[in-house]
Every structure is written in structure tokens, then in C-alpha cells.
Amino acid sequence: MSWRVASLIEEGLANLRANAFRSLLLLGICAAGFGGLAFLELRQGMDLTDFARDFREGGAYVAIATVPGGGLSGPRCESLNGQPGVVAAGAWRGTGQSTFPTAPGVLFQAAEVTLGILRVWDTRQALGTGPGLVIGPAMATELGLRPGLIAAFADAEPVRVSGVGDFAQRNPQAARWALSPVAPAETFDECWVEFEPGAYEAGRDSLAAHFAEGSADPAVRPYRRSDEFTRDPAAEWEARPQRRGWVAVSAVAFGFALVAAWFRRSEAGLYLSMGTRRSQMAIMGAAEGWPLVAAGWSLGFSYAIAAQAVWGSEPTREVALHAAATSGSAALLLLAVFPWASAAVARGSIATLLKDR
């Protein structure tokens, strides 16, 4: 019997509609496999993304330069701003302790800072850049201060509060500090420099040489030390167990397709008895199976995205693309092998196949 391609497709779609239970079962298996694989990718991807963000915001790529006696060159520190690989750089020097008339007997640390260090210590908000005090949150709460109000140290001229910094992640001790922005002249106690992740190692190693001419015996230390217990997000992502899961998911789904085809081997024998070639049976299998695979991937991936959004943080575009690529690879592989399930079980004599009704 000679089949037209259109007739083969119609026959496959008719088989798809003929047994709703079998079709829904295969659809559910595909959705569960693809969705589970995508969900694993999304969970691990977002876990590593959140860790990398918190690690960076916590000062992972910040280095601190100091010299004995606090004679570090302020101009050299501020000159790092705008250099390739440098996010921000700034210096500070302590000016002792003082009190406010509104809180007699309570000591607060006073310091002079360059504007660059405010960006290093607080990455989440724009701080005041004009004259005035930038104070820590604990100090603001104790004294009832906020930007725009006037404050004064004891025995000093009143000054406007230009900003309240959130220094909890980068410099918690500055929570009770009063910072006076000054020009980067003379010398300071420390220079804080934040680098881009890719430039951190080389930049930190070059800081000592950068300050060697303007300061004596400079020393550089990382703000957050790394050791063998520090997580490596890139290595964890490359070693994730579900990276090759697309092969296993497609193999399991194809196994169920083979089982379903085995229970229909009498139908395969009937087609063979009519002169249908196995390649033509594969076309019918494609018409029957491809809609199930496509719908299963769409349902599974959509479920994985929704589950991740409910379970944790909403996935980023990059993580979602990784999950789509991994689960999509499983779907594409299954699309390639699914049509051959019926042809694979159509073995032996036609009479034997027809007996298994």
C-alpha cells in the first residue's frame, strides 16, 4: 500500500485522538520530566546567582591599602577612580571622638572621608556630595537626624546632614560615625578600592606598587578573605549533576513510549500487513508524538518558572535561558527518537504481531 505523507500525518493524529488516556499519560510524563529538569536548573542557578550577588555586595572584591602611622596618599587613592576595572576608590582618616549637645556624654566617632569611599561603603543609594555630614544609621536613629536637618558637634559650628549611609555590609562599625567629606589632599588612614570581579586579583596585587611612591611601606589586604571553604559559583555550576540530565530525561520518556508502543504491537502488525514501511510508520509516530512532546515541554517549563517564582526569587533571564536550553535539549532529543518507538517494536513475523491483540 502506498501512503501519501499527508495521509500518514492524518493517521498519526487519529491515533493520538483515539486513546485519550495513553496520550494524557505520555503528556504528563513529558511535562514532569522536562519541568523537573528545568526546575533543578532554575533552583541551582538562582541559588548561585543570589550567593554571587550577596558575596559581591558584602565586599568580596574590595581591597584595603594602609601604611604604618596612617600616612597614605589621598590623591593617589582618589586617582584610581575611573581606572579600568575599578568600581570606586576612596580614603578616610579618623579625627577622634566627639559628642552632640542633644546627646551629652555619648561619644561618636568622627572621620573625614573622600567622596569615593562613600560609594565603596554604601552601594545602594546615592549619598550627599555637597558639604555636610554623612552619618551612619545607628547615629541617625539615636539623634533623630535625617538628610536636610542641621546638626553640630559640641564646640563646633552647626552643619547640615547631607546623607544617611547604609554601611552594614561593607563597614558595620561606621553605623555610629559622622563622616565629613573633604578634598583628597594630604594623607589618610586607609584607602578602600572596589574592583570588578575579573580585575580583582591583578588590581589588588598592584595596589602596593601604586602607593609605594607617595606612601612609605604600603600594605594591602582583602576586605573578605578567601580560603578553601569559600564557594566557587562557576565551578559549582559546571559540576551540577543535572547538566547532562537532558539525556536521561529523554531516555526515560522514550522508554515509556516504547512500552506504550509494545501494547499496540498488533496495530504495527496490521500496518505492516498492508505494506506500510517502517519509515512510514515513523512519520505516523512523529505526527502522534511530536504534539505531546511540544505540549509537555511547554507545560513543564511554564510550571518550573512558576514554581521557582513561588519557591524563591524570580529567575533572571540568563538562568531561565539555561533552564530552557537544558530542558529543550531533552525535548529535541525525544522529538528525534519518539517516532521510531512503533517501528522498534514491530519486530518478528507479521503473523506473530497480529496474534498479540
Least confident of 52-61, 154-163, 179-188, 189-198: 154-163
Handedness of CA 65, 69, 73, 78 (dihedral sign): positive
pLDDT band at 85 (very low <50, low <70, confident <90, very high): very high
pTM over 0.75, yes/no: no
Does 229 reside within a domain?
no
Does 256 reside within a domain?
yes
User: Torsion angle, CA of 304/305/307/308, rounded to 10 degrees?
Assistant: 110
The pLDDT > 70 percentage for the chain reads 87
87 plus 160 within the same structural domain: yes
Question: pLDDT at residue 122 above 60?
Answer: yes
Distance CA 179, CA 112 (A): 6
- Report the domain count for the chain: 2
CB contact set of 242 (below 8 Å; sequence gap of 6+): 37, 40, 41, 44, 326
- Amino acid, res. 288: E
Predicted local confidence at residue 284, as pLDDT: 79
Does 228 reside within a domain?
no
Mean pLDDT of the chain: 83
Does 132 reside within a domain?
yes
Distance CA 324, CA 330 (A): 10
276 plus 184 within the same structural domain: no
Residue ranges making up the domain that contains 170: 62-223
Least confident of 26-30, 155-159, 208-212: 155-159
pLDDT band at 342 (very low <50, low <70, confident <90, very high): confident
Is the Cβ–Cβ distance between 149 and 161 less than 8 Å? yes
Distance CA 35, CA 297 (A): 7
Could you tell me the end-to-end alpha-carbon distance of the chain, in angstroms, rounded to an integer?
Answer: 22
78 plus 167 within the same structural domain: yes
Write down how long the chain is.
357
Give the tens place of pLDDT for each residue, 229-287.
577 788 888 888 888 889 999 999 998 888 887 777 667 667 666 666 777 777 878 88
CB contact set of 7 (below 8 Å; sequence gap of 6+): none
* pLDDT higher at 227 or 256: 256
Q: Among 349, 342, 337, which Cα is nearest to 12's?
A: 342
Handedness of CA 138, 142, 147, 151 (dihedral sign): negative
9 plus 27 within the same structural domain: yes
* Residues linked to residue 113 through DSSP beta bridges, in sequence order: 92, 181
19 plus 70 within the same structural domain: no
43 plus 156 within the same structural domain: no
193 plus 243 within the same structural domain: no
Considering 40-54, 139-153, 275-289, the range whose residues carry the highest mean pLDDT is: 40-54
118 plus 207 within the same structural domain: yes
39 plus 95 within the same structural domain: no
Distance CA 64, CA 170 (A): 12
- Element of type H or E holding 103: strand 103-113
Predicted local confidence at residue 262, as pLDDT: 76
77 plus 184 within the same structural domain: yes
